[in-house]
Chains A and B, each alone.
Chain A
Amino acid sequence: MSSTFVGMPAFPEAARAAVDDPTLRANLRHATHTIRAKRARAVAELADWAGLRAAGRRIKDHTLRHLDRYLEQLEASVTGAGGTVHWAADADEANRIVAGLVKETGESEVVKVKSMATQEIGLNEALEAEGIRAYETDLAELIVQLGKDRPSHILVPAIHRNRGEIRDIFAHEMAAWGRPAPENLTDTPADLAEAARLHLREKFLRAKVGISGANFMVAETGTLVVVESEGNGRMCLTLPETLISVVGIEKIVPTWRDLEVFLQTLPRSATAERMNPYTSTWTGTTDEDGPRAFHLVLLDNGRTDALADRVGRQALRCIRCSACLNVCPVYERAGGHAYGSVYPGPIGAILTPQLRGTASEIDASLPYASSLCGACYEVCPVAIDIPEVLVHLRERVVEGGPAVRRGNKVVLRPARGHAAERAAMRAAAWAFGHPSALRTGQRLASRSRRLHPRALPGPGRAWSGTRDLPAVPAEPFRDWWLRTRGGKDAK
């Protein structure tokens, strides 16, 4: 994925600064708690939520299990409707294709709709290196771009910023990118939105090339769907002469009808609205309405590696709503940057290590960035069992084993740093298989309990640094059972 995060320390190290930052903690707490309650109300309005959730899961599962067929069908539909389809095996190839397409138009600037896929591949940086300036037009992406910052949330990349910080960024940075912020800009959200409107309008009106992602692609019709709020998406999708959409291959749904599920579950899960203000759908090109040229870049970049994992592939059902981030106790405290990826939070903790592998320190630590409380699974509108995949990926980190990387079968070596854990688990397995040894050990532990330390020594120190060691009872359970005949005799 993007090179922005190379050399990130492991999650616990990266989270330390965030957890110590009271402003950040307050910003995240305020935002996630606001949206949590609203989402619950929006979901409660639909009596058939469970049915919609099950249908969403099944549509996505079915599509993924026949993805080759649906990709070919989509390609034919888009081509038939006047679009051009490109295939990109990885980030570099996608960036090369997009840069080439922009250069063919002779333009040196593009306007962008918020898109996770283009964040993932580091498109803006790649275009910059080719002398093409990409303007982010989503309000939160604009805040991140002007602040030379990194996104920290899937839906609201500037969630870590409060209104005062946003005001300062606009007041100081807008002039360098185009129209300056109005004099005496206040920090009320309405004024900040107005400043963004004025700043971006000239860019929309002169734009010749637009770049987007898509929320859904319909295989049977070749239709792409973009769900948004501000109208910046509509500007980028309709005013330019050329439109380039970079979309992950997992974003397909088979039929037009399938949208009836996701257009109900996505807005309620994402912004807690019955419906988001604007949804645009387009099928190829339309005479005299919108772009004359439409290019679709289908992106793999690790998705087929995730697809090869029978437990992990469910992560590809994700519709990027962010509900799991907003309910996660770990995300609420650590913030998005600590995850070292454009995909933070619970979904990021299972998606990133599958897309990038678990070779780096940060990626190997992500499956542990969770308390396994399961709140993420409960709110997920496509029922991704995130805790199940987290545990599966932890096992892969510790034990190694077969996996697929860049389309090739590999055997992963067990990660360093988990030797003590593996030794402890081996010892436990042996003890449970030898009852007399277990009994002797338990009695020994009970009798020596006054001498037990409160923290583990050596390699166990990190583990017990954040946990209380369980107290050993005065008498092992089995001895108590034998002595009292299962509690029938009094104590």
Chain B
Amino acid sequence: MNSRERILGRVRRALADVPPDERPYEEAVPRDYLREHGKRTVEETVELLAENLADYRAIVHRADAEELPLLVMRLLAAHGSQEAVVPPELPPWWTAAADLVRIHDRAADTPQRLDRVGSVVTGCAVAIAETGTVVLDGSPDQGRRRISLVPDHHICVVRVPEQVVASVPQALERLDPTRPLTWISGPSATSDIELDRVEGVHGPRTLEVILLDG
């Protein structure tokens, strides 16, 4: 008998007391919880996103389409980045004003090369107001998971209000589980020293989120 059969056999013997006609999954799990916490207007939800992102030390900016290229340029310059990684289908106009070398994702092949790049600019799939989270799903405007990880400075553009949801349940509804997802809530942090939170470990130590008004 192989281990698969052995383990499944043990499980079945352990569950001999479970009646075969037990309530199915749909009835067994009550969903007595909220789809979102509190009623908010669209603008209030965006405000809450900004507030919660900032609470966990992300730097939040707001811009319209006209202001965005200049803002991106300013942020990259302030960080001292001469190079930035960009995913294959990042709208070119986002970085049009910046005077820098754009490292296209595929070219940045080795992790060592990525490690020498100062910044990365990406879009996102969805943002969650209640938790201050942006979620990346590897779409062409977000790129592979590693590009938003190795560079020390991540600029993430969220299209508001259409990419913003209030809650975790609403976010999961929008996301595709077959894609590799990265949920980001503030810059990298740790609570491992005396259970006190400090920001800045292995992931980008600076996370700047631009809320782009559509």
Interface centre among B4, B18, B145, B201 (most CB of A within 10 A): B201
Q: Decide if A205 touches B145 in the complex (CB within 8 Å).
A: no
A54 at the B interface (CB under 8 A): yes
Name the residue on B nearest A227 (C-beta).
Answer: B183
Collect the chain B residues with CB atoms within 8 Å of residue A58's CB. 28-30
Distance between Cα atoms of A280 and B190 in the complex (Å): 16
| Least Cβ–Cβ distance between A292 and chain B, in angstroms | 13
A372 at the B interface (CB under 8 A): no
Collect the chain A residues with CB atoms within 8 Å of residue B179's CB. 283, 286
Q: Decide if A190 touches B180 in the complex (CB within 8 Å).
A: no
For window 152-205 of B, CB contacts with A under 8 Å fall at 168-169, 172, 177-198, 200-204
A289 at the B interface (CB under 8 A): yes
Given contacts A193-B198, A289-B144, contact A274 B15 (CB under 8 A): no
Collect the chain A residues with CB atoms within 8 Å of residue B192's CB. 138-140, 143, 156, 158, 230
Interface pick from A257-265, A343-351, A381-389, A463-471: A257-265
Given contacts A235-B202, A259-B172, contact A163 B194 (CB under 8 A): yes
Given contacts A163-B194, A259-B172, contact A277 B203 (CB under 8 A): yes
| Least Cβ–Cβ distance between B55 and chain A, in angstroms | 8
Q: Decide if A62 touches B201 in the complex (CB within 8 Å).
A: no
B37 at the A interface (CB under 8 A): yes
A273 at the B interface (CB under 8 A): yes
Distance between Cα atoms of A206 and B92 in the complex (Å): 32
For window 3-50 of B, CB contacts with A under 8 Å fall at 3-4, 6-15, 17-18, 22, 25, 28-34, 37
Q: Is the interface of A mostly helix, strand, loop or mixed?
A: helix
A21-59 CB mask vs B (1 if < 8 Å, else 0) is 000000100111011000000000111100110110011
Q: Decide if A300 touches B30 in the complex (CB within 8 Å).
A: no
A394 at the B interface (CB under 8 A): no
Distance between Cα atoms of A61 and B11 in the complex (Å): 14
Distance between Cα atoms of A310 and B4 in the complex (Å): 23
Q: Decide if B190 touches A260 in the complex (CB within 8 Å).
A: no
Collect the chain A residues with CB atoms within 8 Å of residue B181's CB. 279-282
Interface pick from A66-74, A425-433, A439-447: A66-74
Distance between Cα atoms of A138 and B189 in the complex (Å): 11
Interface pick from B60-68, B73-81, B96-104, B131-139: B131-139
Given contacts A54-B32, A205-B112, A286-B138, contact A275 B133 (CB under 8 A): yes
Given contacts A235-B149, A276-B185, contact A189 B28 (CB under 8 A): no
Distance between Cα atoms of A407 and B3 in the complex (Å): 12
Q: Decide if A205 touches B188 in the complex (CB within 8 Å).
A: no
Q: Decide if A310 touches B131 in the complex (CB within 8 Å).
A: no
Q: Decide if A300 touches B7 in the complex (CB within 8 Å).
A: yes
A204 at the B interface (CB under 8 A): yes
Q: Decide if A271 touches B197 in the complex (CB within 8 Å).
A: yes
| Least Cβ–Cβ distance between B36 and chain A, in angstroms | 10
Given contacts A264-B168, A277-B188, A298-B7, contact A35 B195 (CB under 8 A): yes
For window 263-317 of A, CB contacts with B under 8 Å fall at 263-264, 271, 273-283, 286, 288-290, 298, 300, 304-305, 307-308, 310, 313
| Least Cβ–Cβ distance between A58 and chain B, in angstroms | 5
Interface pick from A85-93, A331-339, A412-420, A448-456: A85-93
Interface centre among B18, B32, B131, B203 (most CB of A within 10 A): B203
Interface centre among A143, A283, A313 (most CB of B within 10 A): A283
Distance between Cα atoms of A280 and B144 in the complex (Å): 13
Q: Decide if A308 touches B13 in the complex (CB within 8 Å).
A: yes
A379 at the B interface (CB under 8 A): no
Name the residue on B nearest A49 (C-beta).
Answer: B33
| Least Cβ–Cβ distance between A1 and chain B, in angstroms | 17
Q: List 15 A-B contacts (CB under 8 A).
A: A31-B194, A48-B34, A58-B30, A68-B11, A139-B201, A193-B200, A193-B201, A229-B201, A278-B188, A282-B181, A289-B144, A304-B7, A304-B14, A308-B10, A310-B17
User: Which B residues have a C-beta under 8 Å from some C-beta of A?
Assistant: 2-4, 6-15, 17-18, 22, 25, 28-34, 37, 52, 55-56, 110-112, 115, 128, 130-133, 138, 144-146, 149-150, 168-169, 172, 177-198, 200-204
